[in-house]
């Protein structure tokens, strides 16, 4: 695994940082980080995601972003530098698959909108047919999603956590239930008690 700055801070980027006065601002942050694989925080964060965004590059140089999601835990960390997930039948445009056939570099955003957290991953992706690795297909399969067609395997080259600024909080149904569930239970109990009191008062 590589220092994220070594991957992303090209000469052109460094020139822009120098022009804007931010050159060197990130040196200590990246120099102090070990790069021997995804850490516990990254592994736990990825395992808890229910969606990610993957950007690949076409033969003509155009970037393409694809959303992939599933039940929480559909994304599996299979090695210190590798994450993978099962790919199911989609609209059969196969843009990402075609892009990876010519250029395997990808960029991944894993979002936690509720907590305003974002993990950025740079890596190399490959899509293989599920029949080529049945054991891995069984490991990555998600109940209720149908037959696994392909396996997306992402070897991570570097990663970085983004600041929470400008991330608009959004909540899944499960997250909303966790937030309002206790209060809803209290209100339902209070409502039941009031109904019982009213029934007692109106009893003959």
Which pLDDT does position 125 carry in this prediction?
A: 96
Question: What's the pLDDT band for 89 if we cut at 50, 70, 90?
Answer: confident
Same domain, 95 and 81: yes
Distance between alpha carbon 117 and the CA centroid of its chain, in Å? 10
Query: Does the pLDDT value for residue 194 go beyond 90?
Result: no
3-state SS class at 28: helix
Same domain, 132 and 197: no
Same domain, 45 and 136: yes
Question: What's the pLDDT band for 204 if we cut at 50, 70, 90?
Answer: low
Which pLDDT does position 171 carry in this prediction?
A: 75
Which pLDDT does position 37 carry in this prediction?
A: 84
Same domain, 92 and 183: no
Strand order in the sheet with 51-57: 63-69, 51-57, 105-112, 117-129, 150-162, 82-87, 76-79
Same domain, 115 and 145: yes
Region 174-199: what's the mean pLDDT?
76
| d(C-alpha 128, C-alpha 160), whole Å | 27
Phi, psi of 129, deg, nearest 5: -65, 140
Same domain, 110 and 203: no
Structural domain count, the chain:
3
Same domain, 160 and 129: yes
Percentage of the chain modeled with pLDDT above 70: 96
């Amino acid at each position: 695994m590589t220092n994220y700055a070594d991957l992303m801070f090209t000469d052109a980027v460094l020139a822009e940082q120098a022009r804007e006065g931010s050159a060197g601002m990130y040196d200590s942050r990246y120099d102090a980080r070990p790069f021997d694989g995804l850490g516990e925080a990254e592994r736990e964060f990825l395992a808890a995601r229910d969606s990610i965004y993957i950007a690949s590059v076409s033969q003509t140089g155009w970037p393409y972003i694809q959303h992939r999601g599933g039940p929480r835990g559909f994304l599996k960390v299979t090695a210190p530098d590798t994450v993978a997930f099962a790919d199911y039948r989609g609209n059969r445009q196969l843009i990402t698959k075609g892009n990876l056939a010519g250029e395997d570099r990808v960029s991944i955003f894993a979002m936690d909108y509720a907590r305003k957290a974002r993990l950025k991953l740079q890596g190399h992706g490959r899509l293989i047919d599920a029949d080529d690795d049945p054991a891995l297909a069984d490991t990555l399969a998600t109940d209720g999603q149908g037959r696994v067609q392909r396996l997306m395997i992402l070897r991570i080259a570097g990663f970085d956590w983004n600041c929470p600024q400008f991330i608009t909080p959004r909540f899944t149904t499960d997250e909303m239930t966790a937030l309002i569930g206790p209060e809803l239970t209290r209100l339902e109990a209070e409502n039941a008690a009031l109904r019982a009191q009213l029934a007692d008062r109106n009893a003959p």
